[in-house]
Structure 1
Amino acid sequence: MSPASGADRAVRTVEGDIPGQALGVCDAHDHLFLRTPQLPGQELADERAAERDLSGFAAHGGGALVQWTPYGMGRRSGALVELARRTGVRLVAATGLHQAAHYATEPPGDLAGLFVEELMEGVRGAVCGEAPRAGLIKVAGDFHGLGPYARRTMRAAAEAHHATGAPVAVHLELGTGASDVLTLLCEELEVPPSSVLLGHLGRFPDARAHQEAARSGAWLVFDGPSRTHHATDWRLSDSLAELAAAGYAGQLLIGGDTTTAAARAEAGAAFVARVLRPRIARELGEELARALFLDNPARAFAAHWKK
């Protein structure tokens, strides 16, 4: 079953709510700004470099980018508003929490309250420019499982989803643990699969695991191919073709997932529009490319936002 759509749904961008169809060609998972102790010296903190990347993305037909950088990782959400205005690219910001290893301090006590506040009122700590509202919740699993920290953040994400309607985007460590995530979020915590986005599936190129995740009705995000040295990049077209042939073309998304300054210099978000979209259209057909880059993001990031 393909995730549902609806005329009263909207994508919450940093400039306000818009219909999903207004996104255009979408990079469904990327980072313009990112800071983590796991990648010292490779911070994405240069606003001019981010603008050049976005402008290149727009020049090759890119219309929207979803930044999955969550709370406390240098997401620069205030700067996103100005970048959206200057480049014309629709930008979506994230709330949520990554794995504990990405933080030097303890997270706030009331995670669900934090997520709801940032989705409905505006993100905390926007030191430059406006404080936009986040448009999705980003959380993370562990390698082949879910530890106490991951379960805590996912419970908070589920609570915030039920309070707001926001989509929940999940970092799957090396593409693993999708079944554990779906069991917790969808079965136990009753988040609809159509509101769950599973990231990094391409890093674990197991066709049976991919189809098992697809059968849930969740979104499958293949991201990180802008890292042209990534060991699983050669499997991208095959993985997409297998899922499309099995009837899951309406649940697939593509993102660049640029996480370091070196990756931005090598490719960046512009790679998604300049190289990936033409490549997928050439190898798998324009119809599937349209679904992955236009039609599916228009539904995946749209929500019935609660008052």
Structure 2
Amino acid sequence: MLPAKVKIVEVGPRDGLQNEKEFVATEVKIELVNRLASAGLQNVESASFVSPKWVPQMADGAAVMAGIERRPGTIYSALTPNLRGFEAALDAKVDEIVIFGAASEAFSQKNINCSIAESIARFEPVAKAAKEAGLRLRGSISCALGCPYQGDVPIEAVVDVVQRMKALGCDEIDIADTIGVGTAGRTRDVMAAVSKVFPRERLSGHFHDTYGQAVANIYASLQEGIEIFHASVAGLGGCPYAKGATGNVATEDVIFLLNGLGIKTGVDLDQLVEIGDFISRAIGKPSASRVGRALLAKKRDGAASCV
């Protein structure tokens, strides 16, 4: 039986924009966050408190958090890799701290130059500080369905990192297909395995659409009872360390799927399509959302007959 309701974690303002070479104006980021929250997204990943040397696009995280209009009931998240980032996020009144690790040793070494065990140890003070401050803590696990450097990632490795994240006190744990190589069958197997060691209702799926499988993998996750998913408006973003990872699954496409299944999300698809058009125009790139493009064309040109 599929879930009756699903929470969407909108990652566009952070994961979606972090790799843009041209700096996106702070005012645009603020408007993006505000519009997404107004459209009904319950959780918006809004900023990243990392060194601007490594991610210059996110250098204005504090200004973004100071400028947004806080909607009651909306969770505003930020990525925090260390205590310095945590302290900045705390000052910015972030609701949820996001830490990250990988299920692949090769990816961990290439990405953050340390082992999986070392990466988790680094997050222990951040996790402790977040809990002491009464903030939500979310852990994200990269390369849970495949790695660009080592190839297949054993399910046992994913389970191991979930258990490590659980020990840190994570309220939610993201199972991320960083390079989009996951298939529906493998996704079900991974979700079934991690559900045995962490509450199913607090697991989420974060799927990239490199191979066009993200929507199928979301459906496979729904069949396993997963009820939290990440998505990026207009399909923005990807992983700078994963060659060929062209983007996150588009929020518009996910909402269209869930609407068709009768699953409640609280998200207004019409507003979402307009937001996708807004941010795509702002950064000068076409929307990667098939649903967004189709609905915009229908709205602007009227329905055309097809043969």
Range into which the TM-score falls when normalised by the shorter chain: 0.5 to 0.7
Aligned to 2:93: 133
Aligned to 1:217: 199
Q: Which of these residues, 222, 228, 232, is aligned with residue 241 of structure 1?
A: 222
d(CA) in 2 for partners of 1:237, 1:186 = 23
Aligned to 1:179: 159
Bigger Rg, which one: 2
Aligned to 1:285: 262
Aligned to 2:294: none
d(CA) in 2 for partners of 1:259, 1:208 = 26
Aligned length: 223
Q: In 2, are the aligned partners of 1:71 and 1:95 still within 8 Å (CA)? A: yes
Q: In 2, are the aligned partners of 1:119 and 1:164 still within 8 Å (CA)? A: no
CA drift of 1:210 comes to 0.8
Equivalences for residues 126-205 of structure 1 within 5 A:
132-145=92-105, 146-176=115-145, 177-187=157-167, 189=168, 191=169, 195-201=171-177, 203=180, 204-205=182-183
CA drift of 1:55 comes to 6.4
Letter in 2 for 1:223: H
Aligned to 2:25: 46
Once the two structures are superposed, what CA deviation does each residue of 1:39-69 show, in whole Å capped at 9, x if it has no partner? 5x63663335435644664675546512363
d(CA) in 2 for partners of 1:237, 1:185 = 22
CA drift of 1:169 comes to 2.4
d(CA) in 2 for partners of 1:89, 1:267 = 28
Aligned to 1:263: none
Q: Structure 2 stretches of 5 or more lacking a match?
A: 1-5, 106-114, 146-156, 239-245, 270-307
Q: Which deviates the most, 61-70 or 148-157?
A: 61-70
Once the two structures are superposed, what CA deviation does each residue of 1:83-142 show, in whole Å capped at 9, x if it has no partner? 523999956142521xxxxxxxxxxxxx44x3653454x0xxxxxxxxx22222222223
CA drift of 1:160 comes to 2.2
Q: In 2, are the aligned partners of 1:58 and 1:87 still within 8 Å (CA)? A: yes
Q: Which of these residues, 68, 84, 92, is aligned with residue 84 of structure 1?
A: 68
Letter in 1 for 2:162: L
Change (3 A) 1:199 1:255: farther
Q: In 2, are the aligned partners of 1:67 and 1:91 still within 8 Å (CA)? A: no
- TM-score of the pair, normalised by structure 2: 0.55
Q: Secondary structure at the match of 1:152?
A: helix
Change (3 A) 1:90 1:214: same
CA drift of 1:162 comes to 3.7
d(CA) in 1 for partners of 2:130, 2:35 = 33
Q: In 1, are the aligned partners of 2:79 and 2:98 still within 8 Å (CA)? A: yes
d(CA) in 2 for partners of 1:93, 1:253 = 15
Which structure's relative contact order is higher, taking Cα pairs within 8 Å and 6+ residues apart? 1
Change (3 A) 1:210 1:26: closer
Aligned to 2:110: none
Pairwise CA RMSD: 4.3
Q: Structure 1 stretches of 5 or more lacking a match?
A: 1-24, 98-110, 123-131, 261-265, 294-307
Aligned to 1:254: 230
d(CA) in 2 for partners of 1:66, 1:27 = 11
Aligned to 1:28: 9
- TM-score of the pair, normalised by structure 1: 0.55
CA drift of 1:30 comes to 0.9
Change (3 A) 1:212 1:70: farther
Q: In 2, are the aligned partners of 1:54 and 1:87 still within 8 Å (CA)? A: no
Q: In 2, are the aligned partners of 1:178 and 1:198 still within 8 Å (CA)? A: no
Letter in 2 for 1:276: V
Change (3 A) 1:137 1:61: closer
Q: In 2, are the aligned partners of 1:93 and 1:133 still within 8 Å (CA)? A: no
Change (3 A) 1:231 1:68: farther
Q: In 2, are the aligned partners of 1:95 and 1:118 still within 8 Å (CA)? A: no
Letter in 1 for 2:140: H
d(CA) in 2 for partners of 1:213, 1:237 = 16
Q: In 1, are the aligned partners of 2:131 and 2:137 still within 8 Å (CA)? A: no
Aligned to 1:208: 189
Q: Percent same amino acid at aligned positions?
A: 9
Q: Secondary structure at the match of 1:85?
A: coil
Change (3 A) 1:56 1:208: same
